[in-house]
Structure formats: C-alpha cells, structure tokens
Structure 1
Amino acid sequence: MRKILFLNLILACCCFGVSGQYVIKDGSELLSLQQLPQEKAYVDHTGPLVFSGEYLYYAFYCFNAQNNNPTNISRVGYVVLVNEEKEKIFEHKLNLDKGLAQGDFFVRTDIPSGRYKLLAYTQWMRNGGLDQVYTDDIVVINPYLTDQSAILTDPSEETNTANLKTENFPAGLMDSATVSVRLEKEIYGTREKVRLSVNNYKGPSGYGIYTLKVKRKEEIPVRPYLNATQYAKDFFNADKQIKQKVGDSIFLPEQRGELFYGAVYDSSTDKPVKDIPVIISIPGKEFILKFAQTDTQGNFYTYLNKEYKNTLALAQIEEENKMYSIKKGAVADLDLYNIDFSKFTLSDSYAPYIKERSVLNQLENQFFTAKPDSIIASDPIDPFDGGLPEEVFLDEFTRFPTFGETLVEVVKFAGYRSGGKDPDYIKISQDFETYNEEFNSFPAIVLIDGVFIPNHENIKSFDARKIEKISLVRDQFVLGGKQYQGMMTIETFEGDYLEEHTYGNSVAIPLKLPVAKKNYFKQDYDDEVMDFSRIPDYRGLLLWEPHVKVEASNYNFEFFTSDVEGIFEVILNGFTTYGKPITVVKEITVIKPNQ
C-alpha cells in the first residue's frame, strides 16, 4: 500500500490565547501538566565586566529541575540583557540541543555605561515567575559616551566605596577533587603556546558538560559572576513542578519546537472564527509547510520544529467566500518589577586602565577580518519529507509565456483540471504502484518560492519567464485532514514571489531567527598558511570552549597567549551528569620575554 506522507498532525484544540498562555480546564489536565517536570537554566559567560567593543560570550544550560539532568522538555531557550529601566538591550532565541546552546553579543558603542541584568529562561520556566529565571549582573563600561553618571563614584564617598568593594567581592582560586585543570607552568610569555588538560579523577562520577575559558583577570573590583557552585545553592529550592491550579493561565512548554500561534477573526464582525483551517508556510527553497485549526475562541497554534532560514512566515486561509483577518500572537514580556541590580560604582583612579583597555579593543577590532568566526551550517531542510522530486528546468525547453501554457507543453504528469463551479485546480498524475490502486481526483499542493497557493486558477497567467524550475512529487499527502495528490513547487529566478503575493485572506508575519551556532576563531601561531607576525594581538579572552563534554579521564587543549600582559584566569565551570556543580579557577601570568 502506498505510504501516505503526513506533513503535520492536527494539534488538539485548546483554549490558547494570543497572549501565549493556556488556560487549565480541569483536574485531569492539571495532573498531566504537573507530571511534566519544571526546568531551570544556567548561563556561563565572559562577564561580569564588559567594555564597549568587546563580545559577551555565553553558554546556555537548561536542566530538568527534578533530577538536574539536561532537559528533554523545551527545545527553545531565551537569553535577554536588560538595563535598569527594564529595557531590552538584546533578546536571543536559541535552539536547544539536549538542553544546550551558545551565543554571543557585541557590545556596541551606543550602549551606555551602567548596570545590566542577564536573564535566561524557557517559556515553561516562566510559570514559576522571576524566581525560576536565571539572572546575573553585567556591568558595561563605555568610555565613548560623555555621560558616566550611572557608574561614577561621588568623590566624597570614594574611599568608603572602594573598601566596600574589596570586602564584598573577594577573588580566589578554586579546585575540585572530581574534575580539575592542569597546566605545565604558571608563567608564560606573550604569544606562547599554552597546553592544559582537563582531568577527570572520578570516572563516571566526573562525566558531564563544562565550560572552559581563559580570560584576563579583572582589575576593576566587580561582583563575581554566578558560577556553577553558587548557582546550585541559589536554585536549590527552585520549583520542581508548576504551582498553577484549574482555571489559571500557564505558558506552554516549547516541546516540539518554537510555538507559533495567532487568532482568526471575521473581518465584517471582528468576532473570532472557530474550526477554520490555517495554512502556515515559511517561504524559500527550504520551505516549511504547517497546518493549524482554530479553536472555539478563534485561536490557532503549531510548532516550528525545523531550523527555518526566512524571517517571514505566511499565514493563510483557503476559503475565499468570506474575508478574514489573521493576527499573530505575542508572548507577554517577563515581569521584571521585582528585579534588583547590584551596586557598582567606579572611581576616577581607574581612568588609565579604562583608556588602555579601550585602545587595545580598538586595535584588536581593526583586524577582525583576519580572525573570523564561522557559522556552523544547520541541517538542510527536506521540504518533500523524503519524497524524490522530478525536476524540470525550463531553460532546457522552448519557453511559453504563461505558467498554464507551460504545464500543457512542457511538464509531464501535471495539468489543470476543471473544478466545475469551483476554480480549476492542478492535478498531478498518480504514480500507481499496484494494479488495483484506486484513482483519485485530489488537487496538488502548489507552492511558488515556498508560498502556498490556495487558488490554482489565479496563477494560470503567471509569467513563466520568471520561472527557473518546476519540481513534482507524485506521492499522496495529507495536510490538515485534507488529501492532496502530489506536490508541485515552482522556483523563480529571483525567489521573490512573496513580495508580489496579494492573496486576501493572508498575512505575512515577521519571524526572529534563532542565534546561529558558531565556530569561534582560535589564534594559532603555528599556522603555516596565515602569517600573524605583523597583526596585533590584544585578546583578553584567550580560550572559549562553551561546552566541553567529559566522558573519559583526560582531555587536552592548546591555546596561545596574546600581546596582553597580566594575570589570566583559567576557569572550568559546569555540571556532572548527576547534577553536581564543578567550579575550578586557576591563574597564569603572561609577561613579555626577557622581563
């Protein structure tokens, strides 16, 4: 029997509002939700102090709050930086891979000096309020802006403030008997190779995932960043399950991918429309096609579970007899009313250091093209879900003016059929596999540049000179309970059909792309291809390994020091597979040779 390809399953109808929250209807539903463990998040980063012209790198960890293992619940996480006015400086969306993700943010020169808060969470965590959300303090110093009042010390309080900082923010080395770091020596020259090893002394008890970094030790007193050991203490009493009751609203977990939702209204009455199919397509060569159906309140939702490449989605309703309006839902912002910012002030005595560090940053950034990061390509999307398309490149044939004529003269196995009182539709011939297979008259799924075409008759006169190729898949599909015979995708040379799309019952909805995973540049003075001898090297961050997976007894790493002298911290920070926090801090000193 022919394998029927299901593009999407109809999601169970539920009372899901455009605010992104779901109302718990009864006790059995509450019990099911309570059986889903709550989550908690941790972020290792290269703060807590960052200057304009520097990157803030971070590694995201998400855990099952009941057993402290990496979560298998949420597939999307969020990292946000806010200022003291609770305004977002950045908001990053992350695709989680077994609870892990990574990212970075370049601190621009328009971001003022001040105290900021770094937050990390999943939508499921938001049900526990701000106490469930990871938060840590970030201080930004921007010497390029005139106003420094947010961080400058009142001269009359300068002495007392300095003493207070020294007492509250002690620095110290840390080690662990489970997993540790070994170095060959403690003093290195500039541009010298450093070899270090991560040693696991406890076998399976030391297996886990850790962040490894080597960064210049801060000379300005600042509250230390939240390491794994302190985090485990602070979040020991984090919620293990949701505390909401029947009738309460909750944020649903993004278990199958990013949640995409909205509502449909009758344009003439502005009332919600129930039980109406909604087609969601994300255009492009690697298009995504999804289906949803509105509930009794006119709301619809689906999950985007593939790494889409386009920043626009198109939501459409096939019915043309009435006019509808489609509104995209938006999740409410985090309630940051009770968030507090740590105290930080700065005296004029640090002006020479700030000037030196800022000059070095400028010089380092002048040569960023010689030290590029690379984006790790995401897995390609198969729009046909395993089907093998038959491709027709129109330049290989005599061209005809319209798409309709091209189907007749060039494309085999596809053509227009009469719809009777309904519009004509495109039919793709069945690829019969058995002699007794029943004939069907189902229409084809048709897309132009990944845009779903609900009315095939409307594209009969489409200018075929714009078309590069036509692809056919002759399998049978089911989309939202409706059967289709085959799929036809039409690719134009420019790939811009969405820009001229004028179908009435549709709306283009902006999408924010998840943060791309990167391979970060690693300085290598042994490189025989690239000569770095004439390129300045003023890196303050010598090594950044966001996630080191430890599954053996020993791992070796190499990196090179830069032209920056001083004390550098070697930090290993993370969690064993049993949830035990590990924090190791060691130091090396970098000085110029012959000093």
Structure 2
Amino acid sequence: MKILNRIIIVCSVLGFTILNGQLSTDAETEQGAAYLENQEEVFVHYNTSLLFAGESLLYNVHSLVKGTNLPSSLSKLAYVELVGEDGKILFRHKILLTNGRGQGDFFVPADTPSGNYKLLGYTKWMLNSGIATFFQGDVGIVNPYHSNQDTLLEGKAEVVQDSIGATSESPTSREEIRMTFDQIAYRRRQGITLSLEAMDKAVLGGNYSISVRKRDSLRRPLMPTARNHIFRQKSNSAQLSRQKFLPELRGQLISGRIVPKNGNSLFKEEKIGLSIPDKKFVLKMTRTNDKGEFYFNLKQAYESESGFLQVVGERAENYGIEIEEEAIFNYDQLKFGKLRITPQMKEIILKRNIYNQVENAFVEVKLDNKINSNSFTPVYREFSQTYQLNDFTRFPTIKETMLEIVDNAWVERNADGEEQLKVREDDYNTGTDLLPLILIDGVMVQNHTQVIAYDARKVERIKLSRKECVINSVVYKGIISIETKEGDFFKNHLGNTLKTIMLDPPKAKKEYFHPRYDGQGDPKMEQIPDFRLQLLWVPQLDFKTKNLDLELFASDVPGIYDVRLEGFTSLGTPISINSSILVN
C-alpha cells in the first residue's frame, strides 16, 4: 500500500506537468519533492569483467527503491549500456522489468576494439539526478583478432595466481545463505551439485542470480557486489535536474508531438496510432493534449526495429509528427578501470581464443531458449476466419477477392462516391456507418482505396473478425487483416501521413543453455567438444524453500571456477557470496 501511494503521488504531480507544460516555481518544488521521496537505484550483477571477442556478457538487473533496497514497482523498463573510454556506446539495451527484475546479454562481435569499458544501469526516472547515481561497473575487452592493442599494453599487468576459496569480500558476521558443494574437485564433464540453504527466513522470496565461471588468468577489473554497491550509493545524494524525465510506469514510453503543416492550425484532441509490424504485431492508440503532445506506453514485448505513427481521422493530412529525442549523456567524467596485458600473456590469450572459436563453431546445437512473455492476445489479433488465398482461385484485386472469397466482407461506395471496405457484424445486421479496422502486415491503414486496388496476387492470407473492436475509445466494426507474401507492403506504400520511427526492442528473457552428461541430456552432446568457460548462469533464481539444489556439469576446460551469488532478501538486505570449485 505504501508503494502504491507513492506511485499515485508521482503520477498526480507529473500528470500536472504534462497537462500544463511550463511549471511554476511552486509546481517545480512539488515535483522535486515527489522525486526525492520516490527515488530508484539500479544494481547489475554481471558474469565477468573480462571479455574476449566471441564471448557473451550476461547480466541481471535489480531496480530498487532507494534506501530500502526493495524491488521498485515504479519503472517497468531499465537501461543497460556499455561505453568505451572514447565515449562511444558499444550497446544500449532496454530491459523489461517484472517486480523490479530483468535480464539481458550481449555477444561481443569480432570488430569490437580492445579497451576499457564502463557498464551503466539506470531507469529513465533516474535521469533526473544525473549519471553519478547510475550503476557503474568496469569491463575490459580483449580482441585477439586486432593487431592494435595499445589501449591495454600500457604499464604493467599481472597473471592471477589460482587459489580455491579466494573471495573479493571479507566475510560478514551474519550468514544469510550457506553455499556448499558435494565435492571440492571434479573431473571433466562430471556432475556438480551446488546446494543453497536459507539461514534466515527473509532469504525466501528474495531476488538473486548466480554465476559459475572460470577464473580469469589475467588480472581483470574489480566487479561491484550488491553489498559494496549499496554502501557506495548511500553516499550519493540526488540532485534534481532542470530537465524533467517521466518514469516509465507502464512500459516503454514513446513521446512526441504533432506539428501543423500550415503553421496556423489550432491543436485539437487528435488521435494518434502506433503500429509495430511483427508476427505478434502491436497496435496502440492515444490522444494529444492541448499542446499537441502525445505519449505511448508499450507494455508488450516486440522484436521489430521499426514502427509507424500516424494521425488518425479526417485531419491526418494537416499535421506532421515529431518524436522526442533520446537523452544524450556526457561521459567525460566517467572513471574507467584499467585492464592491462603484456606480450608474455600471448599463450594464455591464444588458448582462450581457441576455446571461444570452438564453442562458437557449435553454437547451433547449444542455443539458449527465449522465454515467451506475450501470453495475452489483444483484441486486434483475435480473428474468427482465415482465408489462405492459395486454397482458392486467385483474383487480381482485393475488391474481387472480397466479393468472391471472403464471407461477410465487401466493398461499397459512401455518400461521396469513395469505395470502402465493410464487415457484417452479424448475420442480420448489414447497415452501419462505422468502418472496420484495416491492417496490412500488422500496420493500420486508413486509406481504403489504396487497399482495395492492391494486387491480391501478392497476398498470402486474409483474416477476418466480425466483432466490434474498441481501441482507446475508438470503435471499429470488425477487423480485416491482410498479410502479404513478402511482408513488405509499406516499403512501397508509406504515403505522406505515416511517420517511420526506429525502435530498439527490449531484450528477450532467456533460459541459458547448460548441457547434461548423465544420460538425461542430448546424446549427441557427448561427441561435441565442450570448452565452456561459463558453467552456469541463472539470472533469476527462485529461492522459495529453505534448501535449493542446483545441478550443473563441468566442461573440458580445467581450472578454478568462481561461484558468485548476488541479490537482495525479501527485507532488502544485500547478499554477496563468493566461493570456488576445481575442475581437473
């Protein structure tokens, strides 16, 4: 209830901001107080701070209520990015948050420069207090395919001396989770049982992630832990910036404004449509305020890298559309960790590079599984009839196809003599002034004439819904969805009312591949080389009972493997546990 009340306060204050534009001094003070009372912070647990080209950075994101370390229910999207010392962004990921948690990964491509990088994590709400409050971690990247290693060759470098049980943190006086193994040393491909025991009731229902990875022979940059990160964040006091950023309360926020083409039009409450073409396409509708501004909240996961905006209605031709630009950061004040290598490390680097090449050669049989997060089917994707046009005699136009093949849909002329598509709502109702929703390749189309004249020989199938469809108070009599063979209708039929926008889809949740060698796995894996350096990565560990056993298998790579568990109990206590095992 306390968190819900905080959200209501934030929405009320920021809602006033959106509707009234320029704030008065009192309103600014009120908004600043709302922000300071509802601050978020982010912690990112990542699998390693030393990567080679051809390896993957794996990470888990915690969005927390500042001061309590409990999961934040405010933001539904987090951002994770990797920035080089030159200020260039290697990647920027959007992460969907569920109960304050999300996950992602990044495969380091072969053209990535060797160097020192900074891993940043934040929410859009945190932009109000600046980059100093972001999560910051160091990552070093070695690219053995590049001849220029100058950024890493300065100064001295060290080779790590192996020792089992070494930890980067001193033990705490209180043990919340006890970690044990069925053995200390293991043979190659032997099964390993990792046992976790909750020593405190608050452990149950907390949020944790765990990594088992080979210890690096090179001295890598230090990694933040949940314990020391929270300690550092306590010393950071937020300063509210003059630029105001809204929290993404219901999903990814896309905002912009409409601009009159003649410069003199008065803003009215115009409807704006957003279409994201995909197999599971997304359709959203919103309305502008009296300043022509609009906001979309995207709850759904999607994969398309582009979408289309349009003003919906008779005045669509009167406006252009502008999108709000992404925030630009100043990275000049970031302090980077220093990974160092020497020519004497050539053999270590060469061996690791060979391991990576072999692993990537068999990537097709070691695929991770994407977790489908789109279980809900919206009304605009519900159809009662599907017509596969190859099952019928083909006709050259959509008009003829509707007449000869599709039941309960037809073409008729309106009072102005223009042809329009119509859908019969039921067997006894044929007359209505309302039009159906028309979709082509998942994108809303308002120009019926353009659809009616389209070459039906390019169409794969037509889907029909006879039910009334309501999207943000806009009512349609049925839906006609047309899917072309190539899915490229809008490459040649964009028109002047559609605004193309580039999208960066949120990272999909995954279950990461781990082989079994106990007769219960895929038999062909016994014949495939196993040079994994990452034996286990569980980004969202479900700790619901006092005892939890995890099963994993050693690879063909001998050495010491670090086991690291990070997270927060149900009371917000940070947990950081380090241990290690030996593979002979």
The interval holding the TM-score normalised by the smaller chain is: 0.7 to 0.9
**Structure-1 separation of matches of 2:117 and 2:460:** 50
2:87 counterpart of 1:92 = no
Distance 1:140 1:568 in 2: 20
Which residue number corresponds to residue 133 of structure 1?
134
Counterpart of 2:371 in structure 1: which amino acid?
I
Alignment of 1:405-554 (within 5 A): 405-421=400-416, 423-431=418-426, 440-479=432-471, 481-527=473-519, 529-554=522-547
Secondary structure class of the residue paired with 2:349: helix
Q: 2:249 matched to 1:255?
A: yes
**Equivalent residue for 2:178?**
180
User: CA offset at residue 129 of structure 1?
Assistant: 0.7
The partner residue of 1:307 within 287, 301, 305 is: 301
**Which residue in 1 is equivalent to 2:276?**
282
Matches of 2:524 and 2:469, distance apart in 1: 56
Please, which of 548, 567, 570 is the counterpart of residue 574 of structure 1? 567
**SS of 2:401's equivalent?**
helix
Instruction: With a CA cutoff of 8 Å and minimum separation of 6, indicate the structure with the bigger relative contact order.
Output: 1
Q: CA, structure 1 residues 31+187, in 2 after alignment: closer, same or farther (shift >3 Å)?
A: same
The CA deviation string for residues 203-258 of structure 1, in whole angstroms up to 9 with x for no partner, is 23554121111112233223320011111101124568x835xxx43111111111
Change (3 A) 1:389 1:320: same
Q: Give the deviation of 1:355 after TM superposition.
A: 2.6
CA spacing shift, 1:344–1:502, aligned 2, 3 Å: closer
Instruction: Indicate the larger mover: 171-180 or 24-33.
Output: 24-33
Percent identity, please. Answer: 31
Q: Deviations over 1:340-370 (max 9, x none)?
A: 1123433444333223222322233333233
CA positional deviation for 1:135:
0.6
The equivalent of 1:76 in structure 2 is 77
- Find the aligned partners of 1:523 and 1:174 in 2 and give their Cα distance: 33
Report the CA distance between 1:522 and its aligned residue.
0.6
Q: Would the alpha carbon gap of residues 304 and 66 (structure 1) be closer, same or farther in structure 2, given more than 3 Å must change?
A: same
Q: Which of the pair is proportionally richer in helix?
A: 2
Instruction: Kindly report the root-mean-square deviation, in angstroms, between the aligned alpha carbons of the 2 structures.
Output: 3.3
Structure 2 unaligned spans of 5+: 1-13
In structure 2, what is the Cα distance between the partners aligned to 1:102 and 1:571? 17
Change (3 A) 1:544 1:117: same
Residue 336 of structure 1 pairs with residue 349 of structure 2: no
**Alignment pair present for 1:217 and 2:215:** yes
The Cα shift of 1:398 comes to 4.5
The reply to whether residue 202 of structure 1 matches residue 200 of structure 2 is yes
* Structure 1 residues 29 and 441: alpha-carbon distance in aligned structure 2, compared to 1, 3 A threshold: farther
Change (3 A) 1:429 1:109: closer
Contact kept? 2:564, 2:578, Cα under 8 Å = yes
Q: How many residues align?
A: 562
- Label 1:92 to 1:322 Cα distance change in 2 as closer, same or farther (>3 A): closer
Change (3 A) 1:519 1:492: same
Equivalences for residues 13-28 of structure 1 within 5 A: 24=23, 27=26
Contact 1:16 1:300 survives alignment (8 Å): no
1:568 and 1:177 mapped to 2: Cα distance? 22
Residue 451 of structure 1 contacts residue 497 of structure 1 at CA under 8 Å; is this kept in 2?
Answer: no
Separation in 2 of the partners of 1:388 and 1:362?
47
CA shift for structure 1 position 70? 1.3
Q: Secondary structure at the match of 1:550?
A: coil
- How far apart are residue 87 of structure 1 and its match? 0.6
One-letter amino acid of the structure 1 residue matched with residue 322 of structure 2 = K
| CA positional deviation for 1:493 | 3.1
Higher alpha-carbon deviation: 315-324 or 250-259: 315-324
In structure 1, stretches of 5+ residues that fail to align are: 1-11
Taking the aligned partners of 1:118 and 1:486, their CA distance within structure 2 comes to: 48
Match of 2:111 in 1: 110
